[in-house]
Amino acid sequence: MRQKLLYEGAEQLEYEIRNIVKKAEQIEKLGQTIYWENIGDPIQKNASLPKWIKDIITGLVQEDKSYGYCHSKGILETRQFLAKQTNELSGIQITEDDILFFNGLGDAISKLYQFIHPSSRIIGPSPAYATHSSAEAAHANAGPLTYKLDPDNDWNPDFEDLYNQVKYNSNIIGILIINPDNPTGMVYPKESLEKIVALAGEFNLMIISDEIYNRVTYHNTKAYALAEVINDIPGIALKGISKELPWPGARCGWMEFYNRESDQEFSRLCHTLEDVKMTEVCATTLPQKAIPLIWSDPRYPMYREERNLAIGRRGKIIAEHLKDVTEIKFNETFGAFYNTIVFKDGSLKSNQFLSSDQPEINTLLNQWTDNEMALDKRFTYYLLAATGVCVVPLSSFHSDLLGFRVTLLEEDEDLLNTIFGKIKSALISYCRSV
């Protein structure tokens, strides 16, 4: 090329969660069964939507209007329905004009950071969910800016760390929360949200709240929405149907703007995002038509309750397997469908090993691993090669901690027991191999 093709921040977009899949596919070809514990897609883990939901969607498929473009901000009736739901929380009051649809929340997230000034930064939680941290880092052409979630305090935010970073870095213009959190499964207590709102008030910041798992909670836990606590602070709630319906293939997510007229710069950001969507015409129509029909159905709360109970039960099964392994820190989860397991200091070394029964897989493993790589990534490669269990290393979540993320999605509880039995013995054998 005569000129540079890529802009400097492009490398920040690497998505590690998918990289391990390439390794897993290589050994799958050699006959190894793979247990996909790496990705948060309930459908891939055999979740099935109930017939009544499929009937609603089938009905919509028969309507010609489902095949057309819709309003560039999203279908009016759906936005009215969603605004009413938010208003019923008795916090911030919005209208349909404060809602903007995208092709999946991933699309919304990348657009959001794209239009923020490169020197203005949003600080987000670490371990960090890559869709946010990579897009935010790419916009700033720098590494991600994060505050710590503390595994020694049930993954609650380290407020001293957050406060000091906000106070001493005047480039920070916003705080991101992911509630319930991916990858830790932590649900922000209401007091934590109130503290974040107070902090935003003190330093004139906006709040971004990713609430895609808002109704995925268990063990009698409620995830408070930003709408319930935000008062007069500018904020954007990010919502979608990929996880709770679950219908990730619909590619349907939306933003809700709170207090958009309270700050001139924030108001311009909201307008810009609307203009951008207009240049693309609109977001996917069919799922937008389905949302009010499904969510207002009296069967929906019961359906969600059943699914949440099942996720909570799986969380307990995983805890039974892993909570007493002495080399790790294990925290129970309360929302979303992930658990992040952290190795205690000194548990991982660069000469520990596991082996596969298949020599070809061991040969591949030798090619994949070296003494320079992050120790948790090294563990996940050995785990994959020896057992077929595919998990994501925590170092891929922009974290200084070493560990890995598993999911609570396996529908077949016998298989779930098998997988976590394998993880437990692999953890013990690997950590005690030298």
Burial of residue 355 (CB within 10 Å: 0-12, 13-18, 19+) is: middle
- Nearer Cβ to ligand PLP, position 129 or 381? 129
Beta-bridged to residue 124, according to DSSP, are 146
Peptide bond into 42 cis (omega under 30): no
Least separation in angstroms between residue 176's CB and ligand PLP is 10
Cα-to-chain-centroid distance, residue 358: 35
Q: Which residues contact 18 (CB under 8 A, 6 or more apart)?
A: none
| Residue 217 lies near ligand PLP (rule: CB under 6 A) | no
Tokens of 288: 């937008």
- Nearest CB to ligand PLP, comparing residues 81 and 129: 129
Helix (H, G, I), strand (E, B) or coil at 403: strand
Least separation, in Å, of the C-beta of 40 and ligand PLP? 5
First to last CA, the chain: 50
In the block, tokens 């509630």 appear at 179
Please say which residue, 129 or 258, places its beta carbon nearer to ligand PLP: 129
In the complex, least distance from residue 405 CB atom to ligand PLP, rounded to whole angstroms? 11
- Closest by CA to 341, choosing from 421, 272, 427, is 427
Per-residue x/- track, 309-328, ligand PLP (CB under 6 A): --------------------
Please, are residues 391 and 39 in contact by the beta-carbon 8 Å criterion? no
Cα angle: 70, vertex 40, 19; to 5 degrees: 105
Q: Which is nearer to ligand PLP, 321 or 393 (CB)?
A: 393
Choices 102-110, 186-194, 261-269, 293-301 (CB under 6 A): range interacting with ligand PLP: 102-110
Q: How far is the CB of 209 from ligand PLP (least distance, A)?
A: 10
The minimum distance between CB 181 and ligand PLP, in angstroms, equals 8
Q: Pick the binder of ligand PLP from 20, 23, 36, 40 (CB under 6 A).
A: 40
Nearer residue to ligand PLP within complex by CB, 127 or 234? 127
Residue 10 to residue 213: CA distance in whole angstroms: 28
By beta-carbon proximity to ligand PLP, the closer residue of 32 and 209 is 209
Among positions 24, 53, 82, 105, the unique one binding ligand PLP when judged by CB under 6 A:
105
- Work out whether 184 is an interface residue with ligand PLP (CB under 6 A): no
Examine residue 210 and tell whether it contacts ligand PLP (CB under 6 A): yes
In sequence order, the β-bridge partners of residue 342 are 329, 403
State yes or no: residue 96 binds ligand PLP (CB under 6 A).
Answer: no
Indicate whether 182 belongs to the interface with ligand PLP (CB under 6 A).
yes
C-alpha radius of gyration, the chain, whole number: 22
- Please give the Cα distance from 363 to 372 (Å, whole number): 18
With respect to ligand PLP, which residue has the nearer C-beta, 185 or 312?
185
| Number of residues forming the site for ligand PLP (CB under 6 A) | 14
- Options 43-51, 99-107, 160-168, 284-292: segment touching ligand PLP (CB under 6 A): 99-107
Residue 185 backbone dihedrals phi, psi, to 5 degrees: 75, 10
> Measuring CA to CA, which residue among 135, 207, 134, 132 is closest to residue 166?
207
Q: What is the per-residue binding string for ligand PLP in 224-253, x denoting contact by CB under 6 A? A: ----------------x-x-----x----x
- 396 is a contact residue toward ligand PLP (CB under 6 A): no
Nearer to ligand PLP, 211 or 376 (CB): 211
Assess contact for 101 and 273: CB atoms under 8 A: no
- Omega before 118 cis (within 30°)? no
Does position 376 interact with ligand PLP (CB under 6 A)? The reply is no
> By the 8 A CB rule, do 328 and 341 touch?
yes
Q: Is 104 in the site for ligand PLP (CB under 6 A)?
A: yes
Cβ atoms < 10 Å from Cβ of 412: 11
Which lies closer to ligand PLP via its Cβ, residue 130 or residue 172? Answer: 130
Helices (H), ranges, 151-219:
159-168, 190-203
Find the shortest distance in angstroms from Cβ 200 to ligand PLP. 20
Report the interface residues with ligand PLP, using CB under 6 A: 40, 104-106, 129, 131, 178, 182, 210, 212, 240, 242, 248, 253
